[in-house]
Amino acid sequence: MGRSIILPEGKSKNVAFPVVVSGPSGVGKTCLCRGVLADCDDVAYSVSATTRNRRDNEVNGRDYHFVEPDRFRAMAQAGELLEWAEVHGDLYGTPRHSVLPFLAQGKLVIMDLDVQGGLSMRKVFPGGVFVFVVPPSFEILEERLRTRRTESEDALETRLRNAREEMKFRKHYDYMVVNDDLDDALSRLKSIIAAEKCSMQRLFPCDGEGVA
């Protein structure tokens, strides 16, 4: 069920918007998105398509749609992706069907995108909420990436190098969440979403027009 606000005059109104979460690899975006999903039944997760190899703990269709590069390019060419980008040497993109049906049902859609995807999505959804997640320090980021052991040494070095570049994009986002402690960061992210659901601009976008 999408979130529906009952207005005093007895009408109801759906408040649906995308929430884009970006930040360097290893900062905890996936955990934060999963945390929001576990606690908010009016939020859907946008499952991206990628050409990257599946990790052992990942499920095709739940974490990503894992596809061959040819299939990915065909999807992009056919206009099936709202945005796509090359990230750390692999292709990642947001299928239209991972987002639009949920918004139409009045659901919020949370998506984990790199900074290029964030910039592209801002053009697709100017009214979206854009959140940038940062680590407490680069040392902690490196430690987290090494502990999760999902990358080869080369891939890890690429991700760490890219992290410094990605940090420069934070100015394009609406909110910053420091992931020092996962529970605290999750509670801040949920507070941002809760506040945005109450936004007068979202609830009554036409209010104020023609009013002195």
Distance CA 180, CA 88 (A): 24
> Does 125 contact ligand 5GP by CB under 6 A?
no
Q: Which of residues 98-117 bind ligand 5GP (CB under 6 A)?
A: 112-114, 116-117
Residue with tokens 């290029």: 116
Which H or E run includes 103?
Answer: helix 100-104
96 Cβ neighbours under 8 A, 6+ residues apart: 79, 80, 81, 82
Distance CA 36, CA 110 (A): 8
Based on CB atoms, which residue is closest to ligand 5GP, 18 or 93? 93
> Does 87 contact ligand 5GP by CB under 6 A?
yes
Q: Which residue's Cβ lies closest to ligand 5GP?
A: 117
Q: Confirm if 88 and 162 have CB atoms less than 8 A apart.
A: yes
Among 92, 125, 130, 132, binds ligand 5GP (CB under 6 A): 92
Please report, for the chain, how many H helices and E strands are present, in that order: 8, 11
Stretch of 4-12, 70-78, 90-98, 128-136 contacting ligand 5GP, by CB under 6 A: 90-98
Which string of x and - marks every residue 29-68 that binds ligand 5GP (by CB under 6 A)? x------------------x---x----------------
Distance CA 118, CA 160 (A): 19
Among 15, 16, 19, 25, binds ligand 5GP (CB under 6 A): 25
List C-alpha distances in Å: 102 to 14, 18, 86, 119, 178. Answer: 12, 10, 26, 21, 28
Stretch of 81-89, 129-137, 170-178, 191-199 contacting ligand 5GP, by CB under 6 A: 81-89
Residues at the interface with ligand 5GP (CB under 6 A): 25, 29, 48, 52, 83, 85, 87-88, 92-94, 112-114, 116-117
